[in-house]
């Protein structure tokens, strides 16, 4: 399967569980991840940027749920199933991790841009 990414929406479609599934790296998915992991937003982002698959798997799960919810589809998976799917990708198709991480990075950058994170503040006016 060809991996499809849509950086502007934070979506990446890849084969998980034997069929194409879209993972949406949205603010909703990120906030659900924060709730699931029990840490604050900053700690969650630090965990995700560590590259540790154990940190990324719950976000993939939250991203899968987010896309299913948007499309009004029932979730046919749970966190443990998502772990199995990501493990399969890690061991049999590691080349698919690159587009997954690129979509995650692009999504975080877009979310940061929308929230004004990392943008220079206007210079104060001279008195």
3-state SS track over 49-77: HCCCHHHHHHHHHHHHHHHHHHCCCCCCC
pLDDT at 57: 86
**Would you place residue 119 in the very low, low, confident or very high pLDDT band (cuts 50, 70, 90)?**
very low
State the distance between the two ends of the chain, measured CA to CA, in whole angstroms: 61
Q: What is the mean pLDDT of residues 19-47?
A: 85
For the cut 50, the answer to whether the pLDDT of residue 120 exceeds it is no
Average pLDDT, the chain: 77
Q: Where are the domains of the chain?
A: 4-111
Nearest to 108, CA basis, from 36, 52, 56: 56
For the cut 60, the answer to whether the pLDDT of residue 53 exceeds it is yes
CA–CA separation, 124 and 102 (whole Å): 36
Nearest to 91, CA basis, from 101, 102, 80, 83: 83
For the cut 70, the answer to whether the pLDDT of residue 112 exceeds it is no
């Amino acid at each position: 399967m060809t991996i499809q990414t849509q950086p502007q929406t934070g979506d990446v479609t890849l084969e998980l569980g034997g069929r194409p599934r879209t993972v949406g790296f949205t603010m909703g998915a990120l906030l659900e991840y924060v709730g699931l992991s029990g840490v604050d937003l900053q700690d969650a982002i630090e965990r995700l940027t560590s590259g540790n698959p154990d940190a990324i798997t719950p976000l993939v799960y939250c991203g899968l749920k987010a896309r299913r919810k948007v499309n009004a589809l029932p979730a046919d998976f749970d966190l443990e199933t998502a772990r199995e799917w990501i493990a399969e990708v890690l061991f049999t198709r590691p080349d698919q991790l690159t587009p997954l991480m690129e979509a995650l990075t692009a999504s975080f950058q877009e979310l940061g841009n929308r929230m004004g994170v990392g943008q220079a503040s206007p210079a104060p006016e001279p008195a």
